[in-house]
Amino acid sequence: MENKIDWITLLLYVAILLFGWMNIYAACYDGVHTAFFDMKSQHGRQLMWMGVSLLIGATILLIKPRIISSSSYIIYLLVMLLMVVTFFVARDVKGGHSWIDIGPFKLQSSEFAKIATALAVAKYVGGIDIDIRQWRHQLVAWTLVVIPMGLTLLQHDMGSALVFAGFVLPMFREGMSPSILVIGIVAAVLFVLALVVNQFIIAGIIVLIAVAYLFIWLNKRTRRDYTRAIGIAVVAIAFTFSVDFFFNKLDTHQQERIQVLLGQCDDIQGTGYNQHQSKIAIGSGGLTGKGFLKGTITKADFVPEQETDFIFCTVGEEWGFLGATALLVCYCLLLCRLVMLAERQYSRYARFYGYSIASILFIHVFINIGMVLGLLPVIGIPLPFFSYGGSSLMAFSLMLAIFLRQDQDRNKAM
Amino acid sequence: MSSNPYQERSLVVKIIFVTVVVIFIVRLAMLQLFDDSLRKIADQQALRNVTQYPARGLIYDRNGELLVHNEAVYDLMVIPRMMKDFDTAYFCHCLGMSREEFDAKMKKACSYSLYSPSPFMKQISKEEYASWESHIYKFRGFYVQQRTLRIYDRPIAAHVLGYVGEVDSVDMSRDTMHYYRQGDYIGKSGLEKSYEEVLRGVKGKKVMQVDVHNREIGPYMNGQLDSTAIEGGNLYTTLDADLQAYAEELMANKRGCIVAIEPKTGEVLTLVSAPCYDPNLLVGRVRGTNYMMLLNDISRPLFNRALQAQYPPGSIFKIAQAMTALNLGVITPGQGFACDKILGCHNHPSARSVQEAIKMSCNPYFYYTYRRVIQQGKYKNKFIDSQYGLTVWDDYMHRFGFGERLGIDLPNVNSGFIPDTAFYNKRYGEGRWAFTTIYSNSIGQGEVGVVPLQMANLACIVANRGYYYTPHLVRYFGPDSARNEEFYERHETGIKSSYFDIAANGMYDVVHGAGGTAHRANIPDIDICGKTGTAENIGIDHSVFIAFAPMDNPQIAVAVYVENAGAGGVWAAPIASLVIEKYIRGEVTRKDFERQYREANPCQKLPLKRVTKKKK
């Protein structure tokens, strides 16, 4: 028996999509070229991509989900191949090599790698005899993730590479030890601290925590406790001291962006310009915003990349706190809804896939808005369903459509 | 169906999602709701307030001749914070300035404000501006503001018209409405100052949106916040430009002043303070240097003698004394006093009436007259009697407009000085002074100080036979021809007009009678009434003359004061007669006579002797 499509998800998707288009229109708006369907303008082309995306989505909803699930690995292989090809063929765009020209259009293969990876890992994890708690199985699963991640990094697309870290969440849901999550968070905190505070002080604090853990927290201490505490402390200290090394491995502009965020370099004309301007744009919106098409910073091109990665500042300026919050709430509802839908799947494959796309969307929203709000360093990554860009819109729509189709079919056990 | 352990972990995932979104919302609130500075920065960089400066009002003379108009110039403004790297060398080349100048100006602008516009280069001419207009967009942070410059059509009446200058800290502190901004112009003196609020109009504002390249992309909010500038109101003055120019010519090489008033209305026809200067000297970029030059000039050309100088009036003051005494009844029109030389006097027969006394300007006569005013015999103690008398006299002097600021529509008017009992009590002690201490006042010496405007006003009072209108320079102003009502209010002296007929007759005799002191003021066919004065002074005396003409139905009243020129009849009287002739006839027929006084320098005394010999 086939279920109805999940209207809540679909509605949220359409709402975000339309609101996004309005903001792209506003970001490009110059008071002169106001036609909606002008294919020379970005809002015009975005309209076309929206149509294409809806078409793709509709097609997916018509075919049997089994076709996709059974061809997951093939899709994965094809996309990986495309990635490799991209690397050799792609032109250099802003230091990245992630775009292939197809006629008048440019295709960003890494956008599709996310779907392919989600499908492949879900397929693997969904296997009858696979238990993610076993480290061998987990290793295979992670290998499937790390390959596209590495290829994306080779394309100098830091943002997209980070998205693959989102697979931590579905893995965690399927039984992966939470310590990996914790370790990730601790590593991130240590990384930032090591850049801001003297490393010896951090080392001292780590030792203190270890000692406190052993002698205050624990009543009975076994030999294993000692080794574990000492081991973790040593690794943490070693990591702290190696932060400089990793940091220097980053590109200069990436280093600068991190420094700007940490307040170590105040260059609002140079590296810090984007974030400074986007904060100004958002901050000037106030509670209710300046109104549609009335953003002064937006209209005057003060924020570069405003229709793509920095689209959220248009929302902040023209729609104010209320509009921006509404959008954030929409995203939050969509993500939570996806988790809910994933939970009602009977197959582990579908559940894992649902979690995967929720996580991928989450990482996008997290990094993008965090960056625009000046909470995270500048990392080029689109806001799902919202930013201008055909590849990302099509990929996200495709990703969502596959899951919605799967959800419709959830009663048919695989 | 797969087993489903760890289902509770979905909650952890949802919590992560919600937490992040909550953090973002808090951050949004911090930026949008609790941080006002971002909005200000946004407005600063994306909006430009362009002030629309209204044209300053024009000034016309009584015949509709234009005295002051405006010309467009351009100020280059800079907002230091908005500047972006640009080719400084090219910039300096465009503006024709050196790198050092540039740095100095930049420093000044930065010290004023980093965020507000301040003038970088002022009063750039139309031609200069046209040469680099098309390049201005390349220099972010700079823009051009159109301004107007005052142009004085004739080089006359500098003291009346005044000048405009940039607002200074004093102007700013007085500006409670916060109308002025650094670099704005304000009337600094003269009519420009007293009618500042009429002339300046109302500044308009245009809020323009600018893009990241500093280009204007259109009005902000469809111009809802904009306001149009309201042009300044015009002044229609009472000045007669031709007469003013003529009077200024006459005062060449002299120090002193001429004030001419239409007695019937109190309209000031001419107001000259010599030395004069061309008002255009205090316009534009040369203003600073010229101003210092004028300020440091030993003859003090910036000092408006007609309103600000307080002189001893000399014998012209006797008219007021005679009128006061007659009105008090302490003398009769037929009163005679022997010229006993109790005060120094020139040789003349004793005056047998008030009319004769005025004609002969007899010092002892007015000594006795003043004694009767001051010591009226109301009290036995002559000290107390004098106190009473002086109080009465004081009141009369104020009725003539002496000792108080005449409400003329020009700034910085001196009130002159009429001593009162408090003054003498302070100086000599109460009960320690009487008539004999203060008799010098009777002949316009001593403690009295009179402003030339008040002297001209005295002539008006006699011309009107007893009343005056506050002398004023503006008939009406602004688009709806507003007028100052106080100028239409008649000020009565409260003295019988018949007494003034006596004064007028005396003054007629001064000019026309045998033994009159001002025969030089005589013009054929015009009945001039005048009174000379020779104000004693350390050094050479000041020459004073007041007059009105014609005797019946007077059209003009004049006061002429020539510093250090000697007797009133010699210098001031002929100059006054020339002014009167010019005004009444429109033309001076006595060309030789005119030339003598126009080119003469009284301080050198030389032409004086030559003139007297020639005349004989």
Higher-pLDDT residue of B226, A74: A74
pLDDT for B607 equals 37
Question: Which range in B251-255, B364-368, B514-518 is most confidently predicted, on average pLDDT?
Answer: B364-368
pLDDT for A11 equals 95
The 10 Å Cβ neighbour count of residue B552 is: 9
Question: In which band, very low, low, confident or very high, does the pLDDT at B62 lie, cut at 50, 70 and 90?
Answer: very high
Higher-pLDDT residue of B417, B98: B417
Residue of B nearest to A340 (CA): B10
Residues of B in contact with A347 (CB under 8 A): 2
Fold of B47-237: Penicillin-binding protein 2a (Domain 2) (3.90.1310)
- List the single residue in B28, B38, B212 with the smallest CB-CB distance to A302: B212
Alpha-carbon gap, residue A346 to B2, rounded angstroms: 7
pLDDT > 80? residue B114: no
Residues of B in contact with A324 (CB under 8 A): 28, 32
Beta-carbon separation of A300 and B5 below 8 A: no
To the nearest whole angstrom, how far is the Cα of B222 from the nearest Cα of chain A? Answer: 10
Q: Where are the domains of chain B?
A: 47-237, 241-285+303-615
pLDDT > 90? residue A351: yes
Q: Exposure of A265 by Cβ count < 10 A (0-12 exposed, 13-18 middle, 19+ buried)? A: middle
In A240-269, the residues whose Cβ lies within 8 Å of chain B are 269
CATH match of B241-285+303-615 with 1.10.1660.10 = no
Residue of A nearest to B220 (CA): A296
Beta-carbon separation of A299 and B212 below 8 A: no
pLDDT for A266 equals 67
Beta-carbon separation of B32 and A283 below 8 A: yes
**Lookup: tokens for B13:** 């995932």
pLDDT for B475 equals 93
| Alpha helices by DSSP H, B416-496 | 421-428, 435-438, 452-463
To the nearest whole angstrom, how far is the Cα of B224 from the nearest Cα of chain A? Answer: 13
Residue of A nearest to B30 (CA): A283
Beta-carbon separation of A280 and B41 below 8 A: yes
Higher-pLDDT residue of B4, A282: A282
pTM for the predicted model, two decimal places: 0.68
ipTM attached to this prediction: 0.93
B83, B158 in Cβ contact below 8 A?
A: no
CA B458 to each of CA A315, B374, B455, B503: distance values in angstroms, whole numbers, following the listed order: 77, 21, 5, 11
pLDDT for B220 equals 81
pLDDT for B604 equals 57
**Lookup: tokens for A287:** 């509670």
Q: At what angle do helices A7-28 and A390-408 cross, to 10 degrees?
A: 170
Q: Percent of chain B beyond pLDDT 90?
A: 49
Residue of A nearest to B211 (CA): A300
Beta-carbon separation of B31 and A283 below 8 A: yes
pLDDT > 60? residue B608: no
pLDDT for B267-304, tens place per residue?
999 999 989 999 999 888 788 889 999 988 888 899 99
Residues of A in contact with B25 (CB under 8 A): 325, 328
In A49-78, the residues whose Cβ lies within 8 Å of chain B are none
Give which of B346, B318, B350 is closest to B546, Cα–Cα: B318
Alpha-carbon gap, residue B40 to A280, rounded angstroms: 9
Alpha-carbon gap, residue B536 to B314, rounded angstroms: 7
> In sequence order, what DSSP letters do the residues of B525-584 get, joined into one string?
TB--EEEEEEE--SSSPEEEEEEEESSSS--EEEEEEETT---TTTTHHHHHHHHHHHHH
pLDDT > 80? residue B479: yes
To the nearest whole angstrom, how far is the Cα of A366 from the nearest Cα of chain B? Answer: 7
pLDDT for A112-151, tens place per residue?
999 999 999 999 999 888 888 888 999 999 999 999 999 9
Dihedral, CA of residue B358, residue B359, residue B364 and residue B367, to nearest 10? 10
How many inter-chain contacts (A to B, CB under 8 Å) are there? Answer: 133
pLDDT > 80? residue A91: no
Alpha-carbon gap, residue B220 to A393, rounded angstroms: 34
Residue of B nearest to A289 (CA): B32
A173 touches chain B (CB under 8 A): yes
Which of helix, strand or coil describes residue B191?
Answer: helix
**CA B302 to chain CA mean position, Å:** 11
B567, B586 in Cβ contact below 8 A?
A: no
Residue of B nearest to A127 (CA): B2
A279 touches chain B (CB under 8 A): yes
To the nearest whole angstrom, how far is the Cα of B205 from the nearest Cα of chain A? Answer: 18
Domain B47-237 and domain B241-285+303-615, same fold? Reply is no
pLDDT for A401 equals 95
pLDDT > 90? residue B130: no
A288 touches chain B (CB under 8 A): no
Higher-pLDDT residue of B415, A271: B415
pLDDT for A53 equals 94
- Backbone φ and ψ for B77, nearest 5 degrees, come out as -105, 155
- Token pair 């032109």 is at which residue? A91
pLDDT for B57 equals 93
pLDDT for A96 equals 62
- List the single residue in A175, A302, A339 with the smallest CB-CB distance to B14: A339
To the nearest whole angstrom, how far is the Cα of B40 from the nearest Cα of chain A? Answer: 8
pLDDT for B610 equals 32
Alpha-carbon gap, residue A277 to A296, rounded angstroms: 12
Name residue A292's amino acid: F
Residue of B nearest to A348 (CA): B2
Give which of A305, A271, A276, A272 is closest to B45, Cα–Cα: A276
Residues of B in contact with A343 (CB under 8 A): 7, 10
pLDDT for B139-182, tens place per residue?
888 888 877 788 999 999 999 999 998 898 898 888 888 888 88
Beta-carbon separation of B13 and A279 below 8 A: no
pLDDT for B409-444, tens place per residue?
999 899 999 999 999 999 999 889 999 899 999 998
Mean pLDDT lowest among A37-51, B105-119, B468-482, B577-591: B105-119
Higher-pLDDT residue of B431, A54: A54
Choose the mutation target among A131, A172, A280 for the interface with B, i.e. most B CBs under 10 Å: A280
Beta-carbon separation of A284 and B9 below 8 A: no
* Chain B residues near any Cβ of chain A (below 8 Å): 1-2, 5-7, 9-10, 12-14, 16-18, 20-21, 23-25, 27-29, 31-33, 35, 37-39, 41-43, 45-47, 84, 209-213, 217-218, 220-221
Give which of B332, B393, B391, B335 is closest to B364, Cα–Cα: B335
Which of helix, strand or coil describes residue B259?
Answer: strand
Residue of A nearest to B15 (CA): A336
Strands, E assignment, A59-125:
99-102, 105-108
B319, B397 in Cβ contact below 8 A?
A: no
- Which residues 6+ apart lie within 8 Å of B427 measured at CB? B433
Beta-carbon separation of B20 and A366 below 8 A: yes
Beta-carbon separation of B27 and A301 below 8 A: no
pLDDT > 80? residue B354: yes
Question: In which band, very low, low, confident or very high, does the pLDDT at B611 lie, cut at 50, 70 and 90?
Answer: very low
Question: In which band, very low, low, confident or very high, does the pLDDT at A93 lie, cut at 50, 70 and 90?
Answer: low
Question: In which band, very low, low, confident or very high, does the pLDDT at B1 lie, cut at 50, 70 and 90?
Answer: very low
